[in-house]
Amino acid sequence: MRIYYAEQQALHAPRDEFFRGQRVPCFENPSRAEYVRAALHAHGFALHAPEADSTPLLAQVHAPRYLDFLRTAWDQWLARSPANVDVQPFPSVWPVRTLRSDVEPADFIARLGLYSMDNGSPLAAGTWAAAKAGADAAASAAQVLLDGERAAFCATRPPGHHAGPDFMGGYCFVNNAAVAAQALRAGGAARVAVLDVDYHHGNGTQAIFYERADVLFVSLHGDPRTEYPFYLGHAGETGAGEGAGFNLNLPLPAGSSAAQWFDALEAACARVAQHRPDALVVSLGLDTYAGDPISRFQLQQDDFTRLGGRLARLGLPTAFILEGGYAAAELGENAVRVIQGFNDEE
């Protein structure tokens, strides 16, 4: 399995975020990837820098004006006032319902609200560089699968599955899983499946592929009636237009046991197999771990070995894209267990 790690991930290092109305230190921080890197190194895995440039692919999954905003957001923030170098920007107004989103405001904070689904995705000076490097890793993973590699793993951050066609959210700025899926399609894969096993529904990935039949999206996650992102991820969302029937959501109650979770995984794997994809992209959220501070499933560390083995039995070229997982000290070991379970099953 080829493993990608981007040193640029450390450049995205905001100090704090809003969580349940309080300003707190960021759960999504550079230590997450560092724990994964250290665990991979300790287990003897070689790490590679991304080789591919994801720029053409980004324009195929995200709106041009959103990408333009991301690339220049920090410079725009400093142009507002040089003193902002030590200040994190947060949106304070959003274009909900009857408000217009087609006209881009001149005010920076208003633009930030236009392109944000929440106020929990703080920007920093290096956000774009880190996000772009993660997308480059996803594109690189797709390319090695197209070249004949059995599997690839992207040990990158920030995560991506909440980022939609023209918005950021849930710590996500660029949708790395969508980039990998699009790269596989562009490289000749007739059908691709994206399987999202993060605790939180991958609303951004669903939105990007909702009207497409060439990319199947399957997600098992916390019930959005009580769990973030709240406004997407219900079982009745099955795709639209050409994509009708190519979106499967398997929401589970908060507190679900490992047994319940693996039952849902079986249903997810059955749908993936039915799609007969040429390749699989896994949005690998590890916040299903029982010790995660912001999630509420009950998987233990051995369960991640079992997860890796089950995915290997699908028999597909597989790209793993790291998503959530906020018990940072355990994140590396949990990631390694998925890889070991996958490799041992081959």
Q: State the catalytic residues.
A: 162
The H or E element spanning position 308 is helix 301-312
3-class DSSP state for residue 230? coil
Residues with Cβ within 8 Å of residue 156, at least 6 apart in sequence: 4, 5, 6, 9, 33, 133, 134, 137, 138, 176, 321, 322
| CA atoms of 29 and 10, how far apart (whole Å) | 8
Residues with Cβ within 8 Å of residue 99, at least 6 apart in sequence: none
Six token digits for residue 297: 């499933």
The H or E element spanning position 303 is helix 301-312
Distance of CA 37 to the CA centre of its chain: 18
Residue type, 149: E
Distance of CA 158 to the CA centre of its chain: 8
**Phi/psi zone of residue 170: left (φ > 0), alpha (ψ -120 to 50 degrees), beta?**
left
- Do the Cβ atoms of 30 and 126 come closer than 8 Å? no
| CA atoms of 38 and 116, how far apart (whole Å) | 32
Which residue's structure tokens are 């689904």? Answer: 117
| CA atoms of 160 and 194, how far apart (whole Å) | 13
3-class DSSP state for residue 65? helix
| CA atoms of 136 and 129, how far apart (whole Å) | 10
